[in-house]
Each structure stands twice: as C-alpha cells, then as structure tokens.
Amino acid sequence: MRLIDDQGEQLGIVKTFDALARAREKGLDLILISPGATPPVAKISDFGKFKYQQTKHEKEARKSQRASVLKEIKLSAKIGEHDLMVRVDHANEFLKKKYKIKVSLFFKGREVTHKEIGERVIQRLIDGVADLGMPEGIAKMEGRNLVLIVVPK
C-alpha cells in the first residue's frame, strides 16, 4: 500500500504489516484513505483528528452549496401585451440572479379546451427571456395549469 506519514509526506509503497508497525511506533492510527486505488492509499494519523477535519470539510462544502431558488410567474391565456412584458421583465431579473422560474398559465372556464392559446403566450415569454434563460423541457398540463420551468443559462 502507498503510505503517507503524519506530516503529509509520501513514504512510498510498503507492506501493510510494516505500515501498521510504523503507526504503532508513533502512537497513531493507520487510516485507509483510498481503498479502491492501486495500490491502496493509507495515512498515519490520529483517527479522532482525522474525523474532526473530515466533518469540518463537509460542513464547509455544505456552506458553499446554494439551494436553487424557484420563483413563480403566473400568467393567464388572455393576458394583455403590457402585462406580459412586465412578467418578462420580472423573469429577466430573476434569471440575472440565477433563480429558476416556474411559469404557470391558468386556464379559466372553457379556456382549457384551447391549450394552443396558452402555449403561444408561454412561447412569447420564452422569446422574451431567451438571452438569459432557456426552458428545462416542454410545457405540461397540471390540472388547469400549463406549467414550464425556465433555468438560467
């Protein structure tokens, strides 16, 4: 196995028995770092200190991850041109902040029989945000809503 000492220096490839003996000499533990590698990698270190550093590293990694924010924009099939442009402006602001957008178009009454009208409205919104975002898939019906997710580029 490839052995790394407590100072972080590589000691080369040694037998497992020799690695355990070196760890006992220093009063430390032999920790298997990468068992899948050829040869496997082990480190001489204090196991408690190793677990502490590993937990600290995972906590730091979780801190740097940002949960993706999902903003919703609601439309209707008979939306006016100016109202649609206001929604497009809001969508562009959200996309600049790297937020995902859920576009919901609600059909009232018998409007639901003319799904193509809603698809045209959503297509106009997609054209308005084309420089900052793109649709994640195609618009789907969820009950009386036509729903589409737009993600930032």
What pLDDT digit, counting tens, does each position of 15-69 carry? 999 999 999 999 999 999 898 888 999 999 999 998 999 999 999 888 777 667 8
What pLDDT digit, counting tens, does each position of 93-144 carry? 999 999 999 999 999 999 999 999 999 999 999 999 999 999 999 999 999 9
What is the structure's pLDDT at 6? Answer: 87
What is the structure's pLDDT at 7? Answer: 87
| pTM score, whole prediction | 0.58
Domains of the chain: 2-63 (3.10.20.80), 70-152 (3.30.110.10)
Q: Are 137 and 103 in contact (CB under 8 A)?
A: no
